[in-house]
Amino acid sequence: AAANRGRYVLEHFSDTPEVENALAIMVESYDQLELPELREDAMKVLRANFPNNQLVSAR
């Protein structure tokens, strides 16, 4: 459910500061759900747009 909420933010509120948090939630959710392809896709977008995010620098 958390990953879906993150995706909703990206789709409907893409011009807000919460996009970074939504992407981070998606990365963590997909990791916990053991969906590596989706996790990596979300991580690529996070890395490209928010290179200073904690998740990006931790991996």
In this prediction, residue 27 carries a pLDDT of 96
Q: How far is 48 from 19, CA to CA, in rounded Å? A: 13
φ, ψ of residue 44 in degrees (nearest 5):
-60, -45
In this prediction, residue 58 carries a pLDDT of 75
In this prediction, residue 4 carries a pLDDT of 94
Q: How far is 11 from 51, CA to CA, in rounded Å? A: 21
> E strands within the chain?
none
pLDDT tens for the chain, 59 residues long, are: 999 999 999 999 999 999 999 999 999 999 999 999 999 999 999 999 999 999 888 76
What pTM does this model have?
A: 0.90
Positive or negative CA dihedral for 36, 29, 41, 48? negative
Residue 31 contacts by C-beta under 8 Å, 6 or more apart in sequence?
Answer: 39
